[in-house]
Chains A and B, each alone.
Chain A
Amino acid sequence: DTAVSQTPKYLVTQMGNDKSIKCEQNLGHDTMYWYKQDSKKFLKIMFSYNNKELIINETVPNRFSPKSPDKAHLNLHINSLELGDSAVYFCASAGGVSYEQYFGPGTRLTVT
């Protein structure tokens, strides 16, 4: 059983398109995150949701819109994709008071 899963694993699309990435966790955690890892491998938080409520919204363009239909799911919709959006996007979840985060397998987004 995969603890944190993401779909799709790879996404290749053209500039200007709109795409979505889905994330699901079966760990019973209350908090979920989206991270972006750029070509230099730097991992940076984008959004955080706790029990469907947005907690963290970093300085991310408003073309990026997260949605959490329930505490086990966190999706990321990206409008008007740009070349600079090419990266690996990771979903993560955490529960309890330990702040330990567990990552999904990642979605490699390539914008051409």
Chain B
Amino acid sequence: QKEVEQNSGPLSVPEGAIASLNCTYSDRGSQSFFWYRQYSGKSPELIMSIYSNGDKEDGRFTAQLNKASQYVSLLIRDSQPSDSATYLCAVWMDSSYKLIFGSGTRLLVRP
């Protein structure tokens, strides 16, 4: 089992829709979770961090964490073509002092 798993996609949604990106992780003791956005040819950009169970909202982005199910998700409301990118889920492993990345989900927002 991979430490952090994401569906590679592409996830295709129409402009204005809600995009839902999912991530599962294997280390039950993990406490810190991050979503990064990476445009083609660019570096990963931190867009959300979440540490507690529940929802965290920032503008059009909502991160959701369920530690019991070892599940993290990112919702993007009112999706725009400019949101088209690869979204990387990352989990901090306290046991090894490492940030482990999933392989990323490619999001395509159709105009």
A-side interface residues toward B, CB under 8 Å? 33, 40-45, 48, 55-56, 90, 98-106
CA distance A55 to B99 in the complex (A): 13
CA distance A17 to B56 in the complex (A): 48
Q: Which secondary structure dominates chain B's binding surface?
A: strand
Contacts of B109 in A (CB 8 A): none
B-side interface residues toward A, CB under 8 Å? 32, 34, 38, 42-46, 49, 86, 88, 90, 92, 96-99, 101, 103-104
Q: With A56-B97, A98-B32 known to touch, is A90 a contact of B44 (CB < 8 Å)?
A: yes
Q: Which secondary structure dominates chain A's binding surface?
A: strand
Contacts of B88 in A (CB 8 A): 43
CA distance A48 to B96 in the complex (A): 11
Among B43, B44, B96, the one with the most A-chain Cβ atoms within 10 Å of its Cβ is: B43
